[in-house]
A = this chain, B = another copy of it.
Amino acid sequence: MHTFEELSRLFIERFNTDHFPKEPASLYEPNRYFLKLGGKRVRPVLCLMGNELFGDISQDAMHAATAIELFHNFTLIHDDIMDKAPLRRGNETVHQKFGESTALLAGDVMLVAAYEYLNRISPNHSSLIISLFNKTAREVCEGQQLDMDFEKRDNVGYDEYLNMINLKTSVLLAASLKMGTILGGALERNQNLIYEFGRKLGLAFQVQDDYLDAFGDPEKFGKQVGGDIKANKKTFLLIHAFETATPAQKEELHALLNNNSEDKVSQVLNIFKACGVDEWARALKEKYMEQAFDHLEDIAVLTKRKEPLKELALYLTQRQH
């Protein structure tokens, strides 16, 4: 049994190899650059944790974890193009540094590299893993498309937003865990429980993310508070505010979104507080966390083996930054 830190170190050590040929450097150098920007590697570690819940970490789990991390980086490269984001982890994004066409192609070949790792998984498991991977990849694309669709609309409801977040964020966390458990030989019932644990954990994580952007402690948060509000980004908070505000508050909120006054953030926060959005969000996160832990509880393995997952879940959802 390993902690998150230990598994993270183990994974990063293996992952820091060259996944691409030398030539053509114009195609593969951008990918090497992007992977070197690092990241917490949460998803592959979830895969290894799922695997270790039922046995020793296998070579197959390491292949799946590598594929998952390459897939995640593929989505980041392409998302950055779509979002026209200049920076990622404090460094230039791939399209900013190498041009859009190369970023598009570098992302494509990153996805193909993910499938190369999946194809190394032993035949007795590979088809099931690839099937779950494909389903998840599709869903993540659907989530990104819905996110872009929602940017153009101002009547997005809670259920629609939840569905989008579920697709864009949760299913990959859930599938990472499930792949690990499949490769660990878990029964289907346990596979499904860990999937639901991951899904709910992802939702709690996103609620926390939205909450901190609005109500985080500026000193601990590390970046400017209110970024989502300034960008009129749909969040759990904004959507709930619109669903519970009085007609007068709604009108004020619309007016604030439509022109960028200097005190926009503080004004919107005032409405959020008046609507009780902050308390609601804290309770919502707790609800998803409880549901996640209930699913984890239900999995038929020794409680002791679940400790690292609990620890990671709390780390992800109780951070202040």
**B residues in contact with A113, CB < 8 Å:** 138
Does A159 interact with chain B (Cβ within 8 Å)? no
Asked whether A119 lies within 8 Å of B105 as measured between CB atoms, the reply is no
A104–B111 Cα gap in the complex (Å)? Answer: 13
Task: Tell whether A201 is near chain B: CB-to-CB under 8 Å.
Answer: no
Q: Which of the residues B27, B81, B104, B141 comes within 8 Å of A112, measured between beta carbons?
A: B141
Q: Which of A2-10, A55-63, A144-152, A217-225 contacts B (4 or more CB under 8 A)?
A: A144-152
Contact check, A104 vs B102: say whether CB atoms are below 8 A apart.
no
Interface string of A126-169 (1 = CB under 8 A from B): 11001100100110011011101100000000000000000000
Q: Is the CB of A142 within 8 A of B82?
A: no
Cβ-defined contact, A116 with B141, below 8 A: no
Using C-beta atoms within 8 Å of the partner chain, give the interface range for chain A: 35 or more
Residues of B within 8 A of A111 (CB): 108, 111
A78 at interface (Cβ–Cβ under 8 A)?
yes
Q: What's the nearest-Cβ distance from chain B to residue A85, in Å?
A: 12
Whether the pair B24, A149 counts as a contact (CB closer than 8 A) is: yes
Number of copies: 2
Using A130-B115, A148-B102 as known contacts, say yes or no to A108 and B141 having CB atoms under 8 A apart: yes
A66-109, CB under 8 A of B: which get 1 and which 0? 00000000000010011000000000000000001110110111
Residues of B with C-beta under 8 A to A141: 27, 105, 108-109, 112
Having A26-B145, A115-B134, one finds 10 other A-B pairs with CB under 8 Å, namely A24-B149, A26-B146, A27-B145, A81-B104, A105-B145, A108-B108, A109-B138, A111-B111, A119-B130, A126-B127
Between-chain CB contacts (< 8 Å), 25 pairs:
A24-B142, A24-B145, A24-B146, A26-B145, A26-B146, A26-B148, A26-B149, A27-B145, A81-B101, A82-B100, A82-B104, A102-B145, A102-B148, A104-B104, A105-B141, A108-B108, A109-B138, A109-B141, A111-B111, A112-B141, A116-B131, A116-B134, A119-B127, A119-B130, A119-B131
Q: Name A's B-contacting residues (CB within 8 A).
A: 24, 26-27, 78, 81-82, 100-102, 104-105, 107-109, 111-113, 115-116, 119, 123, 126-127, 130-131, 134, 137-138, 141-142, 144-146, 148-149
